[in-house]
Structure formats: C-alpha cells, structure tokens
Amino acid sequence: MSEPVLDVDSVDSGYGDVQVLDDLSLHLDQDEIVCLIGPNGAGKSTVLKTVFGLLDVWSGSVTFRGEDITGTEPADLVRRGMGYVPQVDNVFSSMTIDENLRMGGVSRESGLDEAIDRLYDRFDIIEEKRDKKASTLSGGQRQVLAFARALVTEPDVLLIDEPSAGLAPNIVRDVFENVQTVNELGTAILMVEQNATEGLGISDRGYVLDQGQVRFEDDAAALLENPEVGQLYLGG
C-alpha cells in the first residue's frame, strides 16, 4: 500500500486553553475525496485549521507527502503543495475574478498565466466573468472562484471547509460536481461537510467525528448504509 499523501497521527489541538481534538488520527490517500462529518462542535473544521497550520498541534504529528509538517506556517504549506478553502471570507469581494486568481498564485515562481488559463477552460462560469468583481457573483459562483483560486498553485491536497454552507438546495449539486472536478484534476481532497449524505455521496471514504475523536471510519458507501451512523448523524 502506498504512503498516504496526508497523515494526521494522534493529534491534540484546540483554541487557547480549550482542547477540541483528542488523540485524533486520520489519513488521505492520493486521488481520494475524504469527507469529515459529525455534529456541530465535533471538531471538523478544527482538523482542517490544525493541518493547515492555523492552529497549533499540542501533541501528535501531521505528515504531508512523507515529510513532517507539524507547526509549518500556512504560506510554506501552500508552497509545498497544499491548499485551503475556508467556509467564509474565501474570496476578495472588491477584486475581479482575474485578480483573485492572480492573488492565489503569488507563490508561483513561473507558469501563472498558463495555470489560470487552464482553470478558465475548466470552469466556464468564471471565465465568462473574469473582469467582474467577485462581489457580483452568486453564492455558488463564489464557491467555484474559491476552488479555482486555491488550485492556481496546482496543489496535491486541498482542504475544503463546508463547500455547501449557506447555498440554496438547487446550487448544492453543482458545488459538489465542482468538488469532483477539482479531484479529477489530480488533487486529493479532505472535506468537511455538514450535509453528510451529499458529502459522503461523492467521497471515497469518510470519518465521523464526535467530541474531537473519530467515532467511525469506513468507505463512504458503508457509512451511508451503517444504521448507527444513520440514526445518530444522518437523521434517519
């Protein structure tokens, strides 16, 4: 079995003196989509923030492509090949779509124009509006721009926090299709999603978090069929 592209091993973390993650371990393999689900306050978003260096690792370790990145600054992680799409404030509203993409590529040493052109080819909706300000986009379009901006550096791993949050139900399907498109570009995805059924529906594997610990881990399809997971976390 090949080495995971991302490995979180026995991590404790939290905010200030408040511990949220308790001896948490998970991994992400190359080309996978892995979904983190669980109740509010379970620590799902905290996992992404800890992996991306926005929160300190109190104990344990985080490994990326075989290298220990515990405590590495976010800017350095972007240079190494990791991207992060937060739930809120994930685009610059006062900038145009093109300016947003260029901001996403500030760490690239070369090939920025070519990378942006490939993203325009992949995501027609932002190509059509490339000179418009991001503030003019709908919620779904803003999410596409957030994905695209994170992809300018062509990351090996993308962390996505609640991609469907606040979106109308008829837009959610399009957003998840775009998550799959990102994965098809060769980027492994670790995704937090409150819409557990939809999130697991496009994923390879999943983890159910509760009180900062992994309660269940399995193939996504198996989690959807697990009666205990369904009763406790999927509403049925």
- Measured N-to-C along each axis, helices 139-151 and 112-122 cross at an angle, to the nearest 10 degrees, of 140
Sorted by where each starts, the structural domains of the chain and their CATH numbers stand as 6-233 (3.40.50.300)
193-219 b/e with 16+ CB inside 10 Å = b?
Answer: bebbebbbebbbbbbbbbebebbbbbe
H or E segment and range at residue 19: strand 18-28
Provide the whole-model pTM. Answer: 0.91
E-assigned strand segments in 162-212: 188-192, 205-210
pLDDT tens over the chain, length 236 residues: 578 999 999 999 999 999 999 999 999 999 999 999 999 899 999 999 999 999 999 999 999 999 999 999 999 999 999 999 988 778 888 999 999 999 888 777 788 999 899 888 888 888 888 899 999 988 888 888 988 888 888 899 999 999 888 777 877 888 888 889 889 888 999 999 988 999 999 999 999 999 999 999 999 999 999 999 988 888 65
Report d(CA 68, CA 51) in Å as an integer.
11
Report d(CA 125, CA 74) in Å as an integer.
29
